[in-house]
Chains A and B, each alone.
Chain A
Amino acid sequence: MSSKNTIAGLANVSLCASALDKALHRPAHLPGMIVMYGPSGIGKSFSAAYCANKYQAYYVECKSSWTRKALLMAILNSMGVMPAKTLPEMTEQACEQLALSGKPLIIDEMDHIVEKKAVEIVRDLYEGSQGTILMIGEERLPAKLKAWERFHNRILDWVPAQLADLSDCAALAHLYSPEVKFDDDLLIEITKKSKGIVRRICVNIEQVRRVAIDAGVAKINLNDWGERVFYTGEAPSRRL
């Protein structure tokens, strides 16, 4: 666990950062695109945020309505470049800035455009800049990308996001509840009940923190928590 107050210690964040680091320092003959995929709520966007800040990357999040033009506009906006009028010009602008700055491009929620023509723009950008591009999406993203043969062999690394484990849970508790210490038995229970989903772990840590603060204690364990229920993301069962 990192002693500093960053999310660098979380498993997915460090996986993602090291894959990106490797791509940025790759030898010239290797491809430069990376794909990170996994179910929602697992901390992919945390990883994206950390990597974007660490490498001062350009970041866009795709929307399902996006056309090729919308994608290019968003990318140019994230670069701070005044967009030209036509698609070919805009593509060239984005390639130019990617190549010159050497900064990576992060495309989040890639699922939204993977079945559309917009995905071809991503390939054009890569071909035109030979830059580093990180694509992030849901579990089935690799399968969908496979449909685009020319895409597929330009991928340097496929990074499956991991479910959060106990050490991730402890790191999150340390980050989000600096004033209340969590006992290990409680952390184990939270990890189990949250099924490794980072978003749920965060909610549970917040609940426990409130209970501890209301009780005026600086340390809390499973006994103190007692019969209270954890947030599991499931609809509540009826108790009569």
Chain B
Amino acid sequence: MTTAVKENKRRPAHIERIGGLNKRDRIWAQIRKQRDFDVKSLYSALDGISKGSVHHYLECLYAGGYIAIVIESKPRQYRLIKDCGVEAPRLRKDGSEVSQGRINDNMWRTMKILKTFDWLDLSRIASTDDLQIKPVTAKRYVEALCHARYLHCVGASAPGSRAVYRFLPHMNTGNRAPMIQSDRSLYDPNLGKIVYQRGEK
């Protein structure tokens, strides 16, 4: 290989993701940094991530056409061929996109646009033709965010009418949706921490 041909002449702007990163976010960030890499170069640059996790994500990225194999023999050399920016692609093993998390994403985005809303508004307006959000899902999410003080309840519910909430502008922590965890605490990935725990007042 001649050294004169350098594929990625154009230096990318330094775009770095805000907030707490999960394993795959960190692997993806490292791939974007190295561009040409192998499992070892990634693994040694990442603390606390097993080789298995790296292997597994590379498999997904390869199947999805994001990376190519440059040298087949061991150790396999990879190259980033489809850079989609700071967000790590959410992929299954066969390279297809994972839609999990889109529900929260849509509701989080919609709340910021509507500013004042109730859970029925949210479930209707955040739904698209390929992603239906159940009213009960919206209700649970709105209530969790209200507990964590992202929303202010401007009108309490009464028989026949729904509670109305307002999104507090200073609580726009970022583009990633807070998520309700299995122990019903609320985790904000933008801040990288748990913002509400059950039983807190």
Contacts and interface: CB of A to CB of B under 8 A. Distances in A.
Interface of A: 2, 4-8, 45-46, 48-50, 52-54, 56, 58-59, 61, 77-82, 84, 89, 92-93, 95-97, 100-102, 108, 175-176, 210, 213-214
Describe B's contact surface by its main secondary structure: loop
Nearest to B133: A5
Interface residues on B, range: 35 or more
A79 B84 contact: no
30 contacts: A2-B129, A4-B127, A6-B124, A6-B128, A8-B128, A46-B125, A50-B128, A52-B113, A53-B127, A53-B131, A56-B105, A78-B175, A80-B17, A80-B174, A81-B16, A82-B15, A82-B17, A82-B18, A89-B13, A93-B15, A96-B13, A97-B85, A97-B86, A100-B83, A100-B84, A102-B84, A108-B113, A176-B124, A213-B160, A214-B160
B127 A6 contact: yes
A84 B12 CA distance: 13
A59 B123 contact: no
Describe A's contact surface by its main secondary structure: helix
A92 B13 contact: yes
Contact of B124 (A97, A102, A175): A175
B185 interface: no
Contacts of A81: 15-18, 86
Given A4-B127, A80-B174, A97-B85, A53 B16 contact: no
A49 B110 contact: yes
The 5 closest A-B pairs by CB, nearest first: A100-B85, A80-B175, A101-B85, A96-B13, A92-B13
Nearest to A45: B113
Nearest to A100: B85
A33 B143 CA distance: 38
Interface of B: 12-19, 83-87, 102, 105-106, 109-110, 112-114, 120, 123-129, 131-132, 160-161, 172, 174-176, 190
Nearest to A13: B125
A48 B14 contact: no
Nearest to B105: A56
A48 B14 CA distance: 29
Contact of B12 (A96, A102, A214): A96
Nearest to A80: B175
B129 A8 contact: yes
A77 B160 contact: no
A61 B127 contact: no
Contact of B132 (A4, A95, A102, A175): A4
Contact of B174 (A7, A56, A77): A77
